[in-house]
Copies of this chain bind each other. A is one copy, B any other.
Amino acid sequence: MRKIYFLIPLCLFIFQIESSTQEPVKGDEDAFFIKKIYNTALTQGQCYPWLTHMTTKIGGRLAGSPQAAAAVEYTKQMLDTLNLDSVWLQPVMVPHWVRGEKEQVRIVNSGVIGSMDLNALALGNSIGTGNEGITAEVIEVKSLDEVEKLGEAKIKGKIVFYNRPMDPTQLRTFNAYGGAVDQRGSGPSKAAEYGAVGVVVRSMTTRLDDIPHTGALGYKKGIKKIPAVAISTNDAEVLSRVLKKEKTHIYMRTTCEMLADKLSYNVIGEIRGSEKPDEIILVGGHLDSWDVGSGAHDDGAGCVHSMDVMQILKRIDYKPKRTIRCVLFMNEENGLAGGKAYAKASNEKGEYHLAAIESDAGGFTPRGFSSTAHPDVFKPKFKKMTEWLPLLEPYGLGFTTGGSGADITPLKSQKGLLIGFRPDSQRYFDYHHTRIDTIDAVNKRELELGAASITSLLYLIDKYGL
């Protein structure tokens, strides 16, 4: 990741932290146009009222839920108001997991603290414990490797407690998440391989608080499915302390279950290109969210960013050369069915996505874009994009290599540039997959700046190609 692609003067960066007006230099058409995009987003942006509706009137939008269906309908209606060239729904079958009754997770009959309820959420896709729940001794581990080392002798019949915290010293919190989330995603099947009966995972956040974070697990084929929950970081600390003193048993009861697949939709709207309509530039986010909270940052923000890109382009009467397509994907959180179905259909039609930009890292102050592509095409496309840095740096934006977005990754074989919008990440994992990922956690200006940043990059891609 530490390759140096080019050198340019630093002067623009110097000004980014206190650029007073961003007044473009006379004659610099692109700088003027980008300033116009920002002004429009900050004074006539629609992302914040749209997100307010999605979070307060609709709520958490897990794939297959009535709320997800309502969000499909609402966002299509909103796109319909924008006078785009076409707006449509793309059918997609999605998994339908339901949480069931409120989870019960309890330290039982501890000599140290008696019985104690833990703040817990079942992990997405998890099976339930059965109506009676399960009680078993807990064993704490710090990694999947440790489970392997302990082996069946120590693991069998127990509840495995994964308690490796996210590393708070990582500046970019997504890296800390990446360094811990295997415990949630793959930990349950790893524990089951050695005979565990259940899994408890420390919530994925650097914060110490009482709020559990849900998120998907993936069961490994051929391995017995066992139930799994996440507990809050404060409770993980307590449980760990109790385990240092004595053998500890936990009772857990969850009634979550995976139902039959359900019909849902990706929501799509496009402005047809005037010169190169067959070159598609996609902007998107995912419409589904977890059922707790209301998916404000994850990923309501990405949806309303993408919709606002279309709104801003129409409002300033921009006529794109290429086709601009807004896609709100269904089922990113626990299956990626929307992203896969979109790419499959697109490939079948022989479409070409010149670029795809996904916003799925929250609605915070923009810091830039990360990008990737098929190795055949990455370097020249990335280099071309970074030549626009002087236009975007005054707005605090930079470019980096790395990932893009889960929903657009299946488009990689089309050999366009895949781009992830990257806002400031410091607060993201306070809210991620929790009941507090609500509109209160979103700042209007920060959200609007996201829409402006994405629109600006998209404008440059449309105007100059890649």
Q: Are B168 and A43 in contact (CB under 8 A)?
A: yes
Q: For the complex, what is the distance from the CA of A422 to the CA of B7, rounded to whole Å?
A: 26
Q: Are B39 and A169 in contact (CB under 8 A)?
A: yes
| Set B11, B16, B18, B424: member contacting A7, Cβ < 8 A | B11
Residues of B within 8 A of A11 (CB): 4-5, 7
Interface string of A366-399 (1 = CB under 8 A from B): 0110100000000000000010010001111011
Q: Are A446 and B427 in contact (CB under 8 A)?
A: yes
Nearest B-chain residue to A43, judged by Cβ: B168
A6 within 8 A of B: yes
Q: Which of A182-235 contact B (CB under 8 A)?
A: 206-207
Most buried by B among A17, A21, A393: A17
User: What are 8 A-B contacts with C-beta separation under 8 Å?
Assistant: A10-B389, A15-B400, A18-B172, A20-B172, A38-B169, A171-B396, A207-B444, A207-B445
Q: For the complex, what is the distance from the CA of A10 to the CA of B173, rounded to whole Å?
A: 23
A426 within 8 A of B: yes
How many copies of the chain does the oligomer comprise?
2
Q: Are A1 and B15 in contact (CB under 8 A)?
A: yes
Residues of B within 8 A of A175 (CB): 18, 20-21
A245 within 8 A of B: no
Residues of B within 8 A of A414 (CB): none
A198 CB → nearest B CB, Å: 31
Interface string of A422-448 (1 = CB under 8 A from B): 101011001000000000000111100
Interface string of A309-322 (1 = CB under 8 A from B): 00000000000000
Nearest B-chain residue to A386, judged by Cβ: B14
Q: For the complex, what is the distance from the CA of A134 to the CA of B16, rounded to whole Å?
A: 47
A19 within 8 A of B: yes
Q: Are B444 and A21 in contact (CB under 8 A)?
A: no
